[in-house]
């Protein structure tokens, strides 16, 4: 197997772990034949709000053992703020979920499994060298078992990463529900109340900060973010307005924000 150049991007974890387990070798190291025997429970999302952490458990039908996997999104604050902002300005749940799913796959993650293979075969060491290990790093190089540092993870992480990839939209919808509850924008009344507190200046700053962070993550996502917020005009009460500014009867211009470019 060729030496893998690892990145912490979620999509790269998927590509490289699938390459690692691409061949049928029976029930041996790095074999695709393990997949039917590794069962995974739906991941726990409750710590994502506080620390960007997802936790899952896999059970092996062969060894009868259960192991824990952890995945921490290092840019989870941007995901939270994007979900909050898009909910605040009235973007539909489906559009928000679709965008956040793409954002999750473009962001950086740190991963870990507590199975022995991660230590014995040097996967913890490989992830540490690439700054992609969740928790304490590993300084001991696997000079005997894996001197060429082939692969990136155990079979449990391989199965669970692919599960997360396939179920990411469903996971994001649950995370979005948590975000809306956390920020108090789960209802129209709540959204209106939060808008009154945040005000136009706060909304504008939030928009600017999010757009800056999205460019850092992957600038190809910027046009899509602009597209789903294009033309939205917000007053202090969160009502969507026409692209052209409304003017009150007394001639005073209502304060609004253009979510596409952030200009009044």
Task: For residue range 93-117, list pLDDT tens digits in order.
Answer: 999 999 999 999 999 999 999 999 9
162 lies in some domain: yes
Neighbours of 150 (CB within 10 A): 18
179 has a pLDDT exceeding 60: yes
Angle formed by the axes of helices 155-183 and 10-20, to 10°? 160
249 has a pLDDT exceeding 80: no
200 lies in some domain: no
204 lies in some domain: no
Share of the chain above pLDDT 70, in %: 84
> Which two structure tokens, joined as six digits, stand for 30?
């790095």
251 lies in some domain: no
> Which two structure tokens, joined as six digits, stand for 201?
């200046």
35 lies in some domain: yes
Q: Which parts of 142-261 fold into alpha helices (H)?
A: 155-183, 188-218, 222-229
Tally of structural domains, the chain: 1
194 lies in some domain: no
254 has a pLDDT exceeding 50: no
């Amino acid at each position: 197997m060729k030496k893998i150049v690892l990145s912490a991007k979620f999509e790269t974890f998927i590509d490289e772990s699938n390459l690692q387990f691409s061949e049928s070798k029976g029930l041996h190291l790095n074999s695709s034949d393990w997949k039917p025997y590794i069962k995974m429970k739906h991941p726990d999302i409750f710590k994502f709000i506080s620390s960007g952490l997802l936790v899952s458990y896999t059970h092996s039908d062969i060894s009868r053992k259960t192991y824990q996997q952890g995945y921490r999104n290092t840019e989870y604050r941007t995901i939270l703020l994007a979900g909050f902002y898009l909910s605040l300005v009235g973007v539909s749940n489906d559009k928000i979920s679709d965008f956040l799913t793409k954002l999750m796959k473009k962001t950086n993650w740190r991963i870990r499994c507590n199975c022995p293979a991660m230590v014995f075969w040097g996967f913890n060491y490989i992830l540490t060298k690439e700054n992609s290990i969740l928790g304490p790093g590993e300084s001991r190089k696997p000079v005997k078992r894996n001197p060429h540092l082939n692969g990136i993870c155990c079979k449990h992480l391989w199965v669970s990463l692919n599960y997360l990839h396939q179920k990411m939209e469903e996971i994001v919808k649950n995370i979005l529900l948590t975000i809306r509850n956390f920020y108090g924008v789960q209802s129209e009344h709540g959204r209106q109340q939060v808008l009154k507190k945040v005000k136009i200046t706060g909304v504008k700053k939030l928009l600017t900060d999010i757009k800056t962070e999205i460019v850092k993550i992957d600038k190809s996502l910027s046009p899509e973010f602009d597209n789903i917020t294009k033309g939205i005009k917000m007053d202090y009460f969160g009502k969507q307005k026409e692209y052209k500014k409304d003017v009150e009867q007394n001639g005073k211009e209502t304060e609004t924000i253009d979510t596409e470019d952030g200009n009044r």
